């Protein structure tokens, strides 16, 4: 073929078309609905059925919440107001019980002005100038300040001082008494640390730990009482005491949950390491403890704390009931945390342990720097789920006579004024627990995304 008959064909566009907006049906709300709600005939039917179900639920729930009575002195008065306002129709809440008893549901019978010996709920003394419920409110504000550097890496590191002080400050604020007693407890831990630090060089790690524990126990059981009593005589610093029977409401549930969660994690980590130990006695003790606690219902442990634990104490010992319950709930949670952490340890490849050995790290250095951070990162969902379950299980203490929100709701319903009311009290209590449990769940998801636990 000659060149005169050749034709030039362009397969590539020499000019670009102008940019155009994407179709309206593919972007924005309409695009999202087409992709997620109406992408096919089955999805469309399920969407319509779901909309109908949501409408059915909200049509009964919203009037019950918003067409309700807030100002009444009793359930009978509530019903009279409902009948006068909405006739014979049903489905109207009586939130007046929450307005009347919300402080009791939150704080139980904790005295609102516990800063003077003669402080009473009905007639606070003139010298009690601080706001009502100052001590429990300050305690829980300090709790969030103490948790900030632990939960968030951007929090100021100086707040770790509050974190270290808080475990000793919290009991003093809540129960009162002399300030020298919690300071004496803290001094025991200082003695433990100093003896271990100084004894590692001369005695070795194991003997140093044993010597530190013995020194701390001697301080707490023999010496501390005389020292704190003398200091209290010279410099009396104290708050009016509040008895444990006055604790109650959501404050009690939060107190039990915080203590159990805070103590169960380190205990659970030690139990998980002990279960994987090569030392037969250590492994047997940890396995026996974990299996025993996990095989017993929490309510049984609470009955042990309420009834049987005093039989093992010396005669005349007054072991606070809330402290006993804290111990049992912590023991119960630590056994489950140990299994969750053990699952994280088992998920690590063997190369991580071999890498730690190749770097010349000893056992505790390898666990602290390489093994345990990865195991805890893997175990985050299970740990937080256990924490949420423990926090909700604190409602079981109502069975042994402690006035948590459920126990108080039973007392409120037994009152003649509010006898027969149910849903409003339980809805309020459920909302309180939902706020804290949902917050823990959201934090867990944020921490997983931050650490990228799903990516290897």
pLDDT band at 118 (very low <50, low <70, confident <90, very high): very low
- How much is the pLDDT for 8? 60
Query: Helices 405-414 & 96-107, crossing angle to 10 degrees?
Result: 140
CA distances from 275 to 262, 272, 293, 368 (A): 21, 5, 14, 17
- How much is the pLDDT for 146? 93
Of 103-112, 136-145, 151-160, 361-370, give the lowest mean pLDDT range.
361-370
* pLDDT above 90 as % of the chain: 33
Q: Where are the beta strands (DSSP E) in 79-202?
A: 177-178
pTM of the predicted model as reported, rounded to 2 decimal places: 0.82
What is the spatial distance between Cα 168 and Cα 185, in angstroms, rounded to a whole number? Answer: 8
Q: Is 176 left (phi over 0), alpha (psi -120 to 50) or beta?
A: left
Residue 306: count other Cβ atoms within 10 Å of its Cβ: 18
What is the spatial distance between Cα 339 and Cα 440, in angstroms, rounded to a whole number? Answer: 20
For the segment 24-30, the average pLDDT, to the nearest whole number, is: 73
For the segment 128-153, the average pLDDT, to the nearest whole number, is: 84
449 token code pair: 């995304």
- Helix, strand or coil, per DSSP, at residue 278: coil
Distance of CA 297 to the CA centre of its chain: 20
pLDDT at 117 over 50: no
Closest to 92 (Cα-Cα) out of 122, 70, 124: 70
What is the spatial distance between Cα 151 and Cα 439, in angstroms, rounded to a whole number? Answer: 13
- How much is the pLDDT for 24? 66
For the segment 221-247, the average pLDDT, to the nearest whole number, is: 88
**Ramachandran angles phi, psi of 444, nearest 5°:** -60, -45
CA quadruple 175, 177, 182, 188: dihedral sign: negative
Q: Could you report the per-residue pLDDT of 177-216, keeping only the tens digit for each?
A: 899 999 999 999 999 888 888 877 666 666 888 888 899 8
- How much is the pLDDT for 9? 60
pLDDT at 446 over 60: yes
For the segment 122-132, the average pLDDT, to the nearest whole number, is: 51
- How much is the pLDDT for 306? 81
pLDDT band at 11 (very low <50, low <70, confident <90, very high): low
Closest to 261 (Cα-Cα) out of 125, 413, 357, 143: 143
CA distances from 322 to 103, 175, 379, 400 (A): 21, 11, 30, 11
Of 85-94, 278-287, 377-386, give the lowest mean pLDDT range.
85-94
Of 7-16, 31-40, 247-256, 416-425, give the lowest mean pLDDT range.
7-16
- How much is the pLDDT for 120? 46
CA quadruple 208, 213, 217, 220: dihedral sign: positive
CA angle 390/166/185 to nearest 5° reads: 100
- How much is the pLDDT for 315? 66
pLDDT band at 308 (very low <50, low <70, confident <90, very high): confident
Q: Could you report the per-residue pLDDT of 361-378, keeping only the tens digit for each?
A: 877 788 888 888 888 888
- How much is the pLDDT for 364? 77
Q: What is the mean pLDDT of the chain?
A: 84
């Amino acid at each position: 073929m000659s060149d005169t008959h050749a034709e030039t064909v362009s397969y590539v566009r020499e000019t670009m078309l102008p940019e155009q907006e994407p179709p309206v049906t593919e972007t924005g709300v309409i695009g999202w609905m087409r992709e997620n709600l109406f992408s096919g005939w089955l999805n469309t039917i399920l969407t319509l059925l779901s909309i109908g179900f949501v409408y059915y639920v909200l049509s009964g729930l919203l009037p019950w919440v918003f067409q309700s009575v807030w100002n009444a002195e009793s359930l009978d008065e509530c019903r009279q107001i409902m009948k006068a306002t909405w006739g014979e129709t049903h489905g109207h809440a009586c939130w007046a019980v929450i307005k009347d008893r919300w402080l009791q549901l939150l704080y139980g019978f904790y005295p609102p002005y516990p800063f003077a010996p003669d402080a009473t709920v009905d007639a606070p003394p003139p010298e009690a100038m601080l706001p009502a419920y100052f001590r429990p409110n300050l305690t829980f504000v300090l709790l969030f300040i103490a948790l900030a550097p632990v939960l968030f890496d951007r929090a100021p590191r100086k707040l770790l001082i509050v974190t270290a002080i808080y475990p000793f400050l919290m009991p003093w604020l809540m129960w009162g008494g002399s300030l020298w007693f919690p300071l004496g407890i803290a001094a025991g831990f200082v003695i433990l640390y100093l003896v271990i630090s100084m004894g590692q060089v001369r005695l070795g790690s194991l003997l140093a730990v044993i010597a530190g524990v013995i020194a701390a126990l001697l301080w707490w059981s023999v010496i501390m009482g005389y020292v704190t009593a003398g200091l209290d005589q010279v410099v009396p610093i104290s708050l009016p005491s509040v008895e444990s029977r006055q604790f109650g409401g959501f404050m009690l549930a939060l107190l039990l949950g915080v203590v159990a969660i805070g103590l169960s994690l380190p205990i659970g980590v030690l139990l998980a390491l002990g279960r994987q130990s090569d030392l037969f006695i250590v492994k047997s003790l940890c396995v026996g403890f974990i299996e025993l606690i996990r095989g017993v219902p929490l309510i049984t442990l609470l009955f042990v704390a309420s009834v049987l634990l005093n039989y093992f104490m010396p005669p005349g010992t007054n072991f606070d009931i809330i402290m006993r319950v804290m111990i049992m709930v912590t023991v119960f949670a630590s056994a489950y945390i140990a299994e969750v952490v053990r699952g994280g340890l088992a998920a690590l490849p063997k190369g991580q342990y071999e890498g730690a050995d190749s770097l010349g790290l000893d056992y505790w250095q390898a666990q602290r720097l390489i093994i345990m951070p990865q195991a805890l990162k893997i175990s985050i969902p299970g740990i937080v789920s256990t924490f949420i379950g423990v926090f909700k299980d604190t409602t079981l203490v109502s069975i042994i006579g402690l006035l948590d929100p459920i126990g108080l709701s039973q007392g409120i319903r037994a009152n003649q004024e509010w006898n027969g009311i149910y849903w409003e009290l339980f809805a309020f209590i459920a909302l309180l627990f939902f706020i804290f449990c949902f917050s823990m769940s959201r934090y867990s998801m944020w921490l997983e995304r931050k650490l990228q636990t799903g990516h290897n």
